Each structure stands twice: as C-alpha cells, then as structure tokens.
Structure 1
Amino acid sequence: MSTLRTCDLIINVPGRPDGFALNMSIEPGQIWGVLGPNGAGKTTLLHTLAGLLPTRSGQVILNEAPLVELKRRDIARHLGLVFQERQDSFPATVMETALIGRHPWLSPWESEKGDDQKCAQQALEAMEVDHLSDRLLSTLSGGERQRVAIATLMTQNPDIWLLDEPTNHLDLHHQVKVMNLLRNQAAENKAVFMCLHDLNLAARWCSHVLLLYPNGDACWGSADTMLKPSALEQLYNQKLMTVQVDGAPVFVPVSAGV
C-alpha cells in the first residue's frame, strides 16, 4: 500500500503570502476530510498533491520518492483524482470513460482486455450507472456524471484516492453510497483524501481532518480533535449549533437572529 506525505509544503495560491507549511502523512486506512471556506486553497492543495500544480516550496513525497521525479504512469498506478468539475474534450460513452481508469496499467497502444472490461463493468454497477454504459457522457445529468467519475477511479484502483467534492451533484441516497464506498476502500487499506463543504459528512465518515484558512494557516489531526465548534466557527466565520445523532456530531448554522 502507498503513502503520500508532504515535506514543508506550501501551496501556490496566487496573491496570497506563504502560509503554514504542511508536514502531514496520508496513510493506508485513513479517510481525510479537507475543510475550509471558499478560496482557502482546498482544490489547489488537491491538485498539488496529484502533481498537477507546482508547489511554492516544499515537496510532495509518494512512497519515499519526490513526486516531481516520478513518471505520470507510475504516479497513476498509485494515486487517482476525481475533479470537482470536468470538461469532456472528446465524445465518449460511459463505458469508454470508465475504461480510461485502466490506462495506467496498459502498455502504450495496448487495448483493454476482458479483465479490464469486467473491472469497469463492476465499477459502473457499484455506482448504479451500468445501465447507462452505452450513453454518451455528455448526455448525462451532473449527478450521473459524478458517479461515472467515481466509477472511473474505481476502475483505476489506486492506493490513494484524491477527491474534490465527491458528493457534488448527488442526491442523499447516492451521497451515502459514495461515502460508504470510500469507507470500504479505507477498510481495504486504501487512503482517502477529499475536499468537503459538508461538515456533517466529515463528522460521520472521516478519521482525520485538515482545516485550511484563507490566510494560509492550517491545522490537522484526528477528526474528534479537529471538529470542535469553536474551531469550525472561526474557520467559517459562522455560528454553529451542535447536536448528537447516532453518536456523531451534527453541525447546524445559526442565523444572526437566533
């Protein structure tokens, strides 16, 4: 299983001074939730961890090797990313899109084989979009496209899952389905690191939390130590009410008049 860690990492957010250096390790079996207001740098961090954006300073280390020294194919065999928003450059069916996840495991110009097709089919079934396999991706709703994106990551089967708002566009049933899927991946010693806007998803499913502030400050640790009302109210500049449901905290924003 793979480990992703940062060494004195400062992400490059344009127009922002250097923030707090990140020295953290994303280990097998962990589910990380990254929380912060708009503009705090959550997506920038995720893309930096994936090697798609350069660091301002510091390093990202994958299995004890600097990410910048690794080939993209080798990175993709250990690390996969679901974007928050996607643009479809070429027309492709749902099945063709899911099969993209097998590309890191194929040699150049090698075609997908039966096992690859089976892997993609099982992933589409898990995300309940197998009945759409022959549809063009561009004809799908936002929620259907999100489930196809997660199915593609399942087909890729990396050790480290990076996800930007994985429940974006999803109804409640599919939100729970995706979060349970991520919990199951962690139970199989995968590592999950995802940006979230929903505090309650983080409280119910995450083992670790990273709080990112707009000025570049950050703090991280186990979910039970990070998800404190005082810290979250400061993070979002928003008063919160907290109740317990099934042993997990539920955070509710309080209007100014309450």
Structure 2
Amino acid sequence: MIKARIKPPAMPVRMLPSALTVAAICLGMTSVKMALDGLPTQAMAFLAVAAILDALDGRVARMLKATSKMGEEIDSLADAVNFGVAPAFIVYATLLSHSQLGWIVVLLYAVCIVLRLARFNALLDVDQPAYEKEYFVGMPAPAGAIGTIVPLAAKMQFPGPWWDGVAAEWVVIVWMIGVSLLVVSRIPMRKIHTFTVSPNMVAPLLALVAIGVAASVFYGYIVIMVIAVAYVIHIPFAVRTKHWVAAHPESWDDKPRQRRAQRRAIRRAQPHRRSMARLGLRKPPLR
C-alpha cells in the first residue's frame, strides 16, 4: 500500500512565520525610537504589538508545518531584542537617563534576559518529566518586559513632580533589579496555556476577556499594572503546585484538572487525620 506523501508548504507560506518574527523585531526597535523621541505611550504600544507578533509566529509555524532551525534561531534573537534590549532602552530613555546607576541597571536586565533565553534553549534538549513542561524556570521574557515598563505605566497614569526626585529613581532601580533577579531565578512559574477552564466558566471568562480588551483601550496603563500584579500573585501558587506534583510521581501522567482534584481530596483528608492524631486514633472511631 502506497502512502500519500504530504507536500510541504510552498516557499512563500513557509516564510510567513519568519516574516512575522522579523516584523516583531522591527516593531520592537521602533518602540525604542518612540521612547528616544519622547513618546512613551507609542513606545509601549509598539512593544505590545511586537510581543503579540512574537507570540503568533511559533503558533503559525506549527499550524503551517513550516518550522525550521533557522526560524527557531530568529525567534530566539527576536526575544532578546523585543523583551531584553527594547524594554531596557525604553526604561532608560524615559525614567533613568539622568541616573548614574541607570545604565548599569538596564544593562543588568538585558543581560539577564539573554541568560534566561540561553537557559531556556539549553533545557529544550534535556529529558525531563512531562509536568516540567508546564512550568517556566524563572520569569519568562515577555513577563519580564511587562514588568520593566510597570514604573513607566505608573508614571503615565499618576504623573507628578515626585517622579523627578531621587526617591522615584531608587524605586525604579530597585524594581528593575528585582525583575532581573526573577528572570534568572529558578522559581517555577506556570505557563498560561496549561491552565484548564471548567465548561461552566467559559462564558464568564470570555466576558472578562472582552472587558479586559476594552479596558486596555481606555485604561491601558492600569491594565499593565494589573497584569504585573496578577502575575506576581500567581508565583506562590505555581511554586506550591509544582512541589506537590514533584512529590507525587503517580500524578505525572495526569492532566492538570485531575491533579487539582487529587490535591483537593488530600487537603480535605488532612484535617480529619490531624484530629485523629490528637485523639491518638489510627482510624475513625466506630459508631
């Protein structure tokens, strides 16, 4: 029996993912130009569009079956530019240009992003349990880029003379150092696409997405700050769930929803076991 051969996509189609990546690089560098020209709002907007294109290129490549080694390398370089170099320049041009430590801090952030991307690429060839693929090691580069522009979003939303003082300078410096350390840390952080949604929550979630899109148009600066705060809040939960999964090898092949059901069952059983331990019982008393 002769199997039908699947023809690879035509060359223009195969170039589409790489074209999206190149466009993302151009937009990321344009965001730097906007910041240097004193247009911070436009700089953040171009950076956001660059991040969207960067997120789409890989998915388009998989949909078209047009993945290639060159495409992977271009995507990695685009991440370094869009999430490392561009945010660093934006923060320096808008917040730290008059600071003696400003350039050192933004260099630290850019280097940490490059190191984080190098570690990510190195871990792709390492055999790991399936559950490890549900977590990032350290803060991912896009989240790091959002984190760096939070002070700028706060300045645009709440302008005032305070931002010209020494206190604001040190707040931004400490914030940038904190984001840089999170980027190169080994703290587990959950990948967004691994979250499961109950069928009953699909409609409310879509309504929430619509509200978020509308809010990003009229209250973009606040949305940036809310996203950053929500991401920081999720970190302890990601650490806890990963530790639980690592301690229960029997759950490694289960889906996230099944794991959550197991964790809930264990938590419900723990108070009962503690109460029996206080009474010196090993099993429930007979009734």
**TM-score band (shorter)?**
under 0.3
* Bigger proportion of residues as strand: 1
- Structure of greater Rg: 2
TM-score (structure 1 length as normaliser): 0.26
* Bigger proportion of residues as helix: 2
